Amino acid sequence: MEDPTVTTTAQEAPAGNWNRDQLRQAALVKISKFEALANKGLIMIAGFLAISIAALRDFDFLPSVPLSVLAFLGPPPSANMISAALVFYCFSAIILILAKMMSGSNKYGGLAHLGYLSGFYLFYHFAAAMERNFWAVFAAGMTILALEEYHLWIYCAEEIRKERETLAELGGGNGKAPNFKR
């Protein structure tokens, strides 16, 4: 999931003469956007913790699903099948995040992971196997979201550093657009 509000510095290299203040202002706006983006992962982790607390109580505060809906959905998969899917998902997600780290991509998949992890909680809930498997989903979620957050944080820290360098260049510049390519 790419954040459309934040673009890289190279993409926004202005072509003509720019007012130095405008450039400085643009750099400051980008810094604040990257700072906000870096906190996005923490919001996802907080959301996951909230869902986990609900799952720990086996969603006892939610109304029961009507029998007709349960009959329509059919029997849930066995706990072993859900566990096998969880291992496969966890492995794939970690590999994909490490691959994103290697490529220096700015894509963030926290929201999608939140959805998948909630799905696992629901499957275990309907399979009546939440008590035995709660900590496995929790550990998988914390690992995946922590890696995503670390990746995003490192990416944003790097971009903020670049913008600060740009600001430093603008401090002694001639008012022309600085070279954003690094």
Partner 1 sequence: MLRSLSAKAIVPVAVAVTGFVVVCCILLYSVMKTDMTNDATVQATNLANTIVKSTRYAMLKSDRETLSNIIDNIGGQHGVETVRIFNKKGLIMVSKDHAEVGQFVDKKTAGCIGCHAGAVPKASFRAMEQARTFTNARGSAVLAITAPVYNEPECFNADCHFHPPEQKVLGTLDIGLDQAPLISALGVMRNRMTIFSLMILVLTVGGVAALLRRNVFMPIKSLSNFTEKVVHGTIGQDFPRCGGEIEGIASNVRTIAEELNKAKTELDKR
HEC-encoded secondary structure of 92-120: HHHHHHHHHHHHCCCCCCHHHHHHHHHHH
Least Cβ distance, residue 116 to partner 1 (angstroms): 14
Least Cβ distance, residue 94 to partner 1 (angstroms): 5
Nearer to partner 1, 148 or 180 (CB): 148
Nearer to partner 1, 94 or 122 (CB): 94
| Site residues (vs partner 1, CB under 8 A) | 79-80, 83, 86-87, 90-91, 94, 97-98, 101, 132-133, 135-136, 139-140, 142-144, 146-147, 150-151, 153-154, 157
Nearer to partner 1, 22 or 92 (CB): 92
Nearer to partner 1, 33 or 151 (CB): 151
DSSP, collapsed to helix, strand or coil, labels residue 3 as coil
Tokens linked to 20? 């130095």
Neighbours of 138 (CB within 10 A): 18
Least Cβ distance, residue 15 to partner 1 (angstroms): 33
What does the alpha-carbon distance between residue 14 and residue 18 come to, in Å, rounded to a whole number? Answer: 8
Any idea what DSSP says for residue 75? S
Least Cβ distance, residue 92 to partner 1 (angstroms): 11
Least Cβ distance, residue 157 to partner 1 (angstroms): 6
Nearer to partner 1, 19 or 64 (CB): 64
What does the alpha-carbon distance between residue 20 and residue 151 come to, in Å, rounded to a whole number? Answer: 32
What does the alpha-carbon distance between residue 126 and residue 147 come to, in Å, rounded to a whole number? Answer: 29
Amino acid at 154: I
**Taking a C-beta distance cutoff of 8 angstroms, is the pair 145, 48 a contact?**
yes
